[in-house]
Amino acid sequence: MKYTVEKRAILLGKYIVENKTTVRKTAKLFGISKSTVHKDVSERLRRVDPGLHKKVKIILEINKAQRHIRGGLATKQKYLNIRKV
């Protein structure tokens, strides 16, 4: 489904806020690159819908603060799976 970039930015922003998801998961779901999602919600959304942009920014800051924890858990799981084999 094709969207204008402004509509896509709003759609992505609403999805991130409603689901409190990451840029990576959002990109995978919508079939676009992480760079596109990030540009849409950080730059384009600011011009189109400043209120939604503020909400998305809060979610992205939380994700940024937690990413080292998620990365550590992923690494732990990777080595647990290797040990089982």
CA–CA dist 53, 38 (Å, integer):
11
Give kind and range of the element (H or E) at residue 38: helix 34-39
The dihedral of CA 27, 30, 33, 39: what is its sign? negative
Q: What is the pLDDT of residue 37?
A: 97
**Residue in this structure with the two tokens 């840029």, named with its chain if needed:** 23
Q: What is the pLDDT of residue 15?
A: 98
Q: What is the pLDDT of residue 1?
A: 56
Q: Are 36 and 44 in contact (CB under 8 A)?
A: no
List per-residue pLDDT tens for the chain, 85 residues long.
567 999 999 999 999 999 999 999 999 999 999 999 999 999 999 999 999 999 999 999 998 888 777 778 778 888 888 877 6
